[in-house]
Structure 1
Amino acid sequence: MCGRYVMAKAIGDLVAEAEAEADANLELRQSWNVAPTTDVPIVLERLVDGEVRRQIHVARWGLVPGWAKDLSVGVRAFNARSETVEEKPTFRSAVKKRRAAVPVQGYYEWRKEAGGKKRPFFVYHPEGRLIFFAGLYEWWKDADESWILSTTILTMDAPPEQAPGILGELAGLHDRLPIPMDAQMMAYWLDPEQPDASALIGQLREQAHEVAASWTMHEVDSAVGNVRNDYAELVEPHSSSLF
């Protein structure tokens, strides 16, 4: 799964890596400990005057479908299982035509040890490149008639424990994996004119392990477990790491 991540790059860097456009007034909040219900950047494509445009928007992390009575639905919908996303009422409309990419610099995962202890790890691309997770987005209107944009991240089964390198290490962290995309897959996923969601999900899952194989990870300090802690040092290797 993905329950915490890092997104602290400047808007110009995100525009360049996503090959997208952003409103001149768009502001991104740097965070080294992004948690659900936080406002986060997402990448999506829309038809504007008959032309597909790739854009960056800010969305609330935790998808709120249009039929929801209040925002609380999103608290439980920050991840979506790719195996059932087409069936679940919360996601099945969005997956057909409101697909997004969620850019991250890396994400945190906690590995369970004997005795119940959990050790936090930071998973990231060793060259500092952004990782783009497959996501969905929705618009929801509140009581004041204001529109709120929200998002979720798709997940799949983690690689098998016997997988080589980082893939096997990811299996030891959690039984779920947020689904990453390469540039070609992201283009397919975002395209609003791609009608076959089932085929797209199949392609996502087929290429995910190849993308994740380029990652690395290291243990970080337990301070990351507190959402009030939000500073660059959170991603540094833990000094007493046994990993």
Structure 2
Amino acid sequence: MCGRYVMAKTTADLVAEAEAEADANLELRRSWNVAPTSDVPVVLERFVGGSARAGAGRHTVRQVHTARWGLVPGWAKDASAGARAFNARSETVLEKPTFRDAVAARRCAVPVQGYYEWKTGPGRAKRPFYVSRADGALTFFAGLYEWWRDPAKAPGDPGSWLLSTTILTAAAPDPADTRGAGQPPVLAELGELHDRMPVPLAPESMADWLNPSAPDPAALVRRVVDEAYRAASCWTLAEVGPAVGSVRNDGPQLLAAAGPETVAEPALF
């Protein structure tokens, strides 16, 4: 799963690494402890120009927008529906009412520098680990997005529309299988850390995942999940201190090496 992550790069660095342009209203807040219901950057592609009917002159443009982490489907009565929809299981995303419309045409990428996961230790204490690319580059998680209109606000109100997002997850690698196959050791470490993991997009698949007119969403989901372990093979794990367990704590000091303390897995809301 993914319930906390780090995104502290500047807007310019993010836009450059995503090979995108910034939405006119883009506002990013650097954070070393991003939690669900926060506003987060997402990378998506949308059609611009030309005729929607004929398709003539239409083309896609890749943009970075700000979205609330926790997907709110268009049919939801209020925005609180997204509070528990910050992750979407790849095995059921095509059938679940909350996600099935978004996976058909509103796929995005959620850029992160790394994410936190809690490993159960002796006495049910949990130790937080930071998972990130060894080279320091961004990871782009496979995500979905939705637009939701607040029925309590006038249609012309600039705040009447909410953009929200969720992160796709898959089963983590089986430690015994990966070791037996001689795969990168980090994959076994991920399997020992948690039974789920967020799905990283392989660079060669990102354009297809973002394409809003891709003809076979089910095949796309299978593809990015099949590539997830290879994309994660460049990750590294580092144990961090217990301060990350509280959303009140933020800053680069959260990535400091862990001391002897342990901490219970945090409440996400």
Give the TM-score of the pair, scaled to structure 1.
0.97
What is the CA-CA distance between 1:24 and the residue it aligns to? 4.9
When residues 241 and 114 of structure 1 are mapped into structure 2, their CA distance, relative to the original with a 3 A threshold, is: closer
CA distance in 2, matches of 1:27, 1:122: 25
What is the CA-CA distance between 1:239 and the residue it aligns to? 4.1
CA distance in 2, matches of 1:198, 1:132: 20
SS in 1 for 2:253: helix
Q: Deviations over 1:205-226 (max 9, x none)?
A: 1110001011001100011000
Which amino acid counterpart does residue 8 of structure 2 have in structure 1?
A
Which amino acid counterpart does residue 61 of structure 1 have in structure 2?
W
What is the CA-CA distance between 1:241 and the residue it aligns to? 8.7
Q: Is 2:212 aligned against 1:204?
A: no
When residues 94 and 185 of structure 1 are mapped into structure 2, their CA distance, relative to the original with a 3 A threshold, is: same
CA distance in 2, matches of 1:24, 1:140: 20
Does structure 1 conserve the Cα–Cα contact (< 8 Å) formed by 2:241 and 2:254? yes
2:142 to 115, 122, 134: 134
SS in 1 for 2:37: coil
Which amino acid counterpart does residue 238 of structure 1 have in structure 2?
A
Show the 5 A alignment for 1:1-243: 1-49=1-49, 50-142=58-150, 143-144=152-153, 145=155, 146-162=160-176, 163-164=178-179, 165-240=185-260
Unaligned 5+ runs, structure 2:
50-57, 180-184, 263-269
Does structure 1 conserve the Cα–Cα contact (< 8 Å) formed by 2:242 and 2:261? no
Alignment size in residue pairs: 242
CA distance in 2, matches of 1:64, 1:216: 32
Q: Deviations over 1:105-132 (max 9, x none)?
A: 0000000012110000000011110000
Q: Deviations over 1:81-138 (max 9, x none)?
A: 0000010000000000000000000000000012110000000011110000000000
SS in 1 for 2:173: coil
SS in 2 for 1:159: coil
Which amino acid counterpart does residue 210 of structure 1 have in structure 2?
R
What is the CA-CA distance between 1:71 and the residue it aligns to? 1.1
Structure having the higher Rg = 2
- Counterpart in the other structure of 2:265: none
SS in 2 for 1:181: coil
CA distance in 1, matches of 2:94, 2:23: 32
SS in 2 for 1:6: strand
Does structure 2 conserve the Cα–Cα contact (< 8 Å) formed by 1:97 and 1:195? no
What is the CA-CA distance between 1:240 and the residue it aligns to? 4.3
CA distance in 2, matches of 1:51, 1:183: 21
CA distance in 2, matches of 1:23, 1:59: 12
SS in 1 for 2:109: strand
SS in 2 for 1:180: coil
Unaligned 5+ runs, structure 1:
none
What is the CA-CA distance between 1:26 and the residue it aligns to? 1.9
CA distance in 2, matches of 1:166, 1:156: 16
CA distance in 2, matches of 1:23, 1:134: 20
Which amino acid counterpart does residue 45 of structure 1 have in structure 2?
E
Percent identity over the alignment is 62
Does structure 2 conserve the Cα–Cα contact (< 8 Å) formed by 1:219 and 1:241? no
CA distance in 1, matches of 2:253, 2:13: 21
SS in 2 for 1:150: strand
CA distance in 2, matches of 1:120, 1:104: 17
